[in-house]
Amino acid sequence: MKLQRMNRRALTLGALAVSGALALTACGSDDNGGSSNSSSSSTTNASSAICGSAKKGQQLLADGSSAQKNAIDAWVKNFSQACGVQINYKGGGSGAGVTSFNQGQLAFAGSDSALKPEEVTASKKVCSGGQGIDLPMVGGPIALGYNVPGVDNLVLDAPTLAKIFDSKITKWNDAAIKKLNPSATLPDLKIQAFHRSDESGTTDNFTKYLIAATPDNWKYSGGKAWQAKGGQSAAGSAGVAAGVKQTSGAIGYFELSYVADGVKAVSINTGAAAPVAPSTDSATKDIAAAQVVGTGSDLTLKLDYNTKAEGAYPITLVTYEIICDKGNKADTLPATKAFLSYIASEDGQKVLSTIDYAPIPDAIITKVRSTIASIS
């Protein structure tokens, strides 16, 4: 229940950020003893700045990345309270989100992997005169959560992780794990490695790390679908996290916000002076070095999965919000632009660090804001 309490606290903090911004703006109009009408007018103006021309009572449907589900939930609560717009974000996985977006079913989608060329081509059928673009909006570490009795500070490296998730290391007291954890009391316990059963950008990013950092030990091509043999599977980040929590000897990959209630996170030996634990700060250090490789309005990023920089966590992901650059549905465009503008705003990004996500670095999020303003 710790995770639920954390999420409720984060939602409250985020809501306070929005309501506080409205209140501060309203108070600013009382310098000369303004009336309640001027205060109300100021509050309305502040709300309009957040809501744009979104219509109260409107509904938006979105789907995709489960990695950002906790962030979306916080943002939706704040935005809905301020603007009266209902947003239903399913969080069914990146693959499901992209597919539904390209079928014209969604106002926007979330994906932990940028659109592939063939997906961009498919998007042109629903983006009249335009195409789908990737807007980086949420950053964060992919934690390796584990449930091993008596082991509180576990260190692993890329080769060892690759062998664990490829069923080549099967016991927690394996010599390779002992070498990385000389002071730990490792049990003679079977490893239960959990992976995603659905197509997932989290899987894509985790396996990109393994491919980059230990290509000799991870021979798979990668992608959203899990390819290695063996192990346990579960749907969504929440499903993998639940499997790890409920299974002694388990390990799985999911976003840091899902680490709770007896599940601990692995620190990664990257070759830097000290192992790096997943955190918003260590993820931000890695994301800050990312390069924009998208063209036109697309802001796809290239991450360094093989970083050895001090304090930089190598297994990070960026979740993109996917929308048409041109040709969005006229009835949902104002509300969609308003919501995306809010989550890309300074207030919106501040919410992330309260729930174990990493805000997008200033140089990148500034470009995101400019791109959102140009969407039609």
Q: For the segment 192-244, what is each residue's pLDDT rounded down to a tens digit?
A: 999 999 999 999 999 999 999 999 999 999 999 999 999 999 999 999 999 99
Q: How confident is the model at residue 49 (pLDDT cuts 50, 70, 90)?
A: confident
Q: What mean pLDDT do residues 29-46 have?
A: 42
pLDDT at 47: 61
221 versus 18: the higher-pLDDT residue is 221
Q: How confident is the model at residue 267 (pLDDT cuts 50, 70, 90)?
A: very high
Global pTM exceeds 0.85: no
pLDDT at 257: 86
Angle value at C-alpha 128, between 125 and 133, nearest 5 degrees:
80
pLDDT at 48: 63
Q: What mean pLDDT do residues 75-99 have?
A: 96
The long-range contacts involving 269-274, CB below 8 angstroms and separated by at least 24 positions, are 269/155, 269/156, 269/157, 269/180, 270/157, 270/213, 270/307, 270/308, 270/312, 270/314, 271/308, 272/308, 272/309, 272/310, 272/311, 272/312, 273/310, 274/310
What percent of the chain is predicted at pLDDT more than 90?
A: 84
Q: What mean pLDDT do residues 265-276 have?
A: 97
Report how far apart the first and last C-alpha atoms of the chain are (Å, whole number).
42
Q: What mean pLDDT do residues 286-295 have?
A: 93
Q: What mean pLDDT do residues 33-55 have?
A: 58
Give Cα separations from 196 to 26, 66, 199 (angstroms): 47, 11, 7
Give Cα separations from 230 to 163, 167, 168, 220, 284 (angstroms): 12, 6, 10, 14, 33
Question: Average pLDDT over the chain, rounded to whole?
Answer: 89
What percent of the chain is predicted at pLDDT more than 70?
A: 87
Q: Where are the beta strands (DSSP E) in 168-236?
A: 192-196, 232-234
Q: What mean pLDDT do residues 126-144 have?
A: 97
pLDDT at 158: 98
- In 3-state terms the chain splits into helix, strand, coil percentages (rounded to 5) of 40, 20, 40
Residue 1 has pLDDT above 80, yes or no: no
Q: How confident is the model at residue 3 (pLDDT cuts 50, 70, 90)?
A: very low
